[in-house]
Amino acid sequence: NKEHFNWDSYLRETESLAAPSQCFRQSKIPPTNEFKIGMKLEARDPRNVTSVCIATVIGITGARLRLRLDGSDNKNDFWRLVDSSDIQPIGTCEKKGGMLQPPLGFQMNASSWPMFLLRTLNGAEMAPATFFKKEPPKPAPNLLKIGMKLEAIDKKNPYLICPATVGDVKGDEVFITFDGWRGAFDYWCKYDSRDIFPVGWCGLTGDALQPPGNNVSITKSSAKTQSSPSKVTRRSMQSPQKTVPIPAQRGKKPGRAKPPGQTSV
């Protein structure tokens, strides 16, 4: 199941087009990730977005950081791009007249927060300001179109970036459908979401792009489609665009024609 996923052949096999990079709120050249594990920074609490908390870098993946809020548990890790506006150097909050807050679910008595904060920051390795990159601007209008391919974060498994297709567009909202997963992970988001990336993003950042699932047909953006009842029932229920079944193995090369195998994690 470690077959290498290749966008070029996948786009060809699915007769689909990659969404141009201007569609995304991502820098054309991904920001360099200079962070090191153990470094501390300030981060907006994802579960309580009015709070700015202390976070520790506990993992590095491509242009993203795996973060854990100090004083929280290990079940609520989250991932942020190094050019996310949700993170900033230690001291930023205070400089702006704000106060660092305990994370939602702070594991100690609330009264011990001031001392906890002091001890947490004392002797901590703080990520230098130069490691934080400027968030790219919003692209002007929504240029994403139904059928375009992209890479998107699986919100149910946010460490995963997966091949996806624009399933629908309504104004500034786009419906992200995950190739080969029968709609189970699909979601609506704004076109300028930081969770969606152009094709090739993971290749550039070194993040691992998941292969598509093999649960359903490949979504195809071209108009032609077959629709015998058996094929129709295999279609992704939430995918409005035309689909074709995964081609059967061609010739003698086993597995070449179908999308690379995926792991059921």
Figure out which of the listed residues 23, 162, 166, 176 binds ligand MLZ, where binding follows CB under 6 A.
Answer: 162
Dihedral angle of Cα 211, 216, 221, 224, to the nearest 10 degrees: 140
| 181 binds ligand MLZ per the rule CB under 6 A | yes
| Residues composing the chain | 265
**Dihedral sign from CA coordinates of 82, 83, 86, 88:** positive
Alpha helices (runs of H) in 148-222, residue ranges in sequence order: 201-205
What number of chain residues touch ligand MLZ (CB under 6 A)?
A: 9
Smallest separation, CB 264 to ligand MLZ (Å) = 4
- Residue 239: φ, ψ to 5°: -90, 115
Figure out which of the listed residues 32, 157, 226, 238 binds ligand MLZ, where binding follows CB under 6 A.
Answer: 157
Q: Which stretch binds ligand MLZ (CB under 6 A): 87-95, 137-145, 152-160, 245-253?
A: 152-160
| 116 binds ligand MLZ per the rule CB under 6 A | no
Nearer to ligand MLZ, 100 or 161 (CB): 161
Q: Which two tokens stand for residue 243?
A: 């689909």
Figure out which of the listed residues 54, 87, 148, 160 binds ligand MLZ, where binding follows CB under 6 A.
Answer: 160
Figure out which of the listed residues 185, 191, 197, 201 binds ligand MLZ, where binding follows CB under 6 A.
Answer: 185
DSSP state of 258: S
| 238 binds ligand MLZ per the rule CB under 6 A | no
| 49 binds ligand MLZ per the rule CB under 6 A | no
What does R_g of the chain's alpha carbons equal in angstroms? 21
Smallest separation, CB 44 to ligand MLZ (Å) = 25
Of 1, 194, 2, 180, residue with least CA distance to 80: 194
Find residue 61's DSSP bridge partners.
Answer: 64
How far is it between the farthest Cα atoms of the chain?
69
Q: Residues in the site for ligand MLZ, rule: CB under 6 A?
A: 154, 157, 160, 162, 178, 181, 185, 264-265
